[in-house]
Amino acid sequence: KKKKKKMSSGEACCPAGSHPALELPEKYVQKGVVQTLGDLPVYCTGDPKKPAVVFFYDVHGLKGGRTLGVADELAAAGFYVVVPDVFRGSAIGQHGGISPEGFAWLKQHDWPALRADLDKVLGHLDQRGAAEGTRTALFGTCFGSWVGFHASADPRFAACASAHPSLTLTHRVYGEDETQLVEQVQCPQAVFACSNDADNIKPGGELVKRLQAKPFGAQCVFEEYADQKHGFLQRGDPADAAVQRDVPRLMTALVTFLKQHLEA
């Protein structure tokens, strides 16, 4: 059942008007494999000796929409991509969806728990046989962008990119402060926002200005996809002409940004 518009809990993550989740395309053949790091499943795709991208997905989980396809496309561009399944086979749709119940479930996946998962991924990357000095970046969508901003305080990451970010989770779900989250960032950021994402993370927004004021501010990228709704990269209707146009546009910008910071 749809929640009434007056309920703001749903907008804590995905703003009103966002694309609905799409099932994993039946005809898509994934290029990577799922490995297990302790109790954490991870989807790994690409050449392990290439620069790495740790990809944190949205609230719809590992098989929500085109998450695996996005990971494989990044791998084809020359990266080793690791997608930690931090929900361990689950997703918000199994816990009440975009609702108070769903966000009570999401709240269990807080930064201390996610940081422990990230440490497992970093341990895997350290052992993969890449040359010393091979760099690692972060990429997150929706919920995953909030994770990426937290992880960006770690100097081991060269850069972080976010598509349709959900930094509103910071205060609405986790009781944190968005300004503090942004202030602790230690690496260049690329943020690809949509029309119904929060104004403070769009070009000219308060959080954007704080990032631009950092020593690496000139290396940051901020773009708004004004014709798109939150979630379009993984969940936009592939038959829609604007989605057909803007998914490749975002992927090109994303790859360009990552290459600038991982191959320098």
Q: What is the pLDDT of residues 167-208, one digit of tens each?
A: 999 999 999 999 999 999 999 999 999 999 999 999 999 999
Reply yes or no on whether the pLDDT at 83 is more than 60: yes
| List of residues 6+ apart from 6 with CB closer than 8 A | none
Q: What is the pLDDT of residues 15-33, one digit of tens each?
A: 766 433 343 566 778 899 9
| List of residues 6+ apart from 73 with CB closer than 8 A | 251
Reply yes or no on whether the pLDDT at 4 is more than 50: no
Q: What is the CA radius of gyration of the chain?
A: 17
- pLDDT value, residue 29: 84
Query: How far apart, in Å, are the Cα atoms of 52 and each of 23, 79, 126, 156?
Result: 27, 6, 11, 12
Lowest mean pLDDT among 3-7, 142-146, 164-168, 192-196: 3-7
Reply yes or no on whether the pLDDT at 8 is more than 80: no
Q: What is the pLDDT of residues 112-141, one digit of tens each?
A: 999 999 999 999 999 999 999 999 999 999
What is the reported pTM?
0.92
Euclidean distance between CA atoms 150 and 166, whole angstroms: 12
Query: What is the pLDDT averaged over residues 38-42?
Result: 97
The sign of the torsion formed by the CA atoms of 118, 144, 94, 70 equals negative
Q: What is the pLDDT of residues 198-247, one digit of tens each?
A: 999 999 999 999 999 999 999 999 999 999 999 999 999 888 999 989 99
Element (H, E) at 256: helix 241-262
Q: What is the pLDDT of residues 42-80, one digit of tens each?
A: 999 999 999 999 999 999 999 888 999 999 999 999 999
Q: Is residue 233 a contact partner of residue 247, using CB atoms and an 8 Å limit?
A: yes
Three-state secondary-structure class, residue 212? helix
- pLDDT value, residue 10: 54
**The two structure tokens encoding residue 170:** 């910071």
- pLDDT value, residue 74: 95
Euclidean distance between CA atoms 79 and 195, whole angstroms: 29
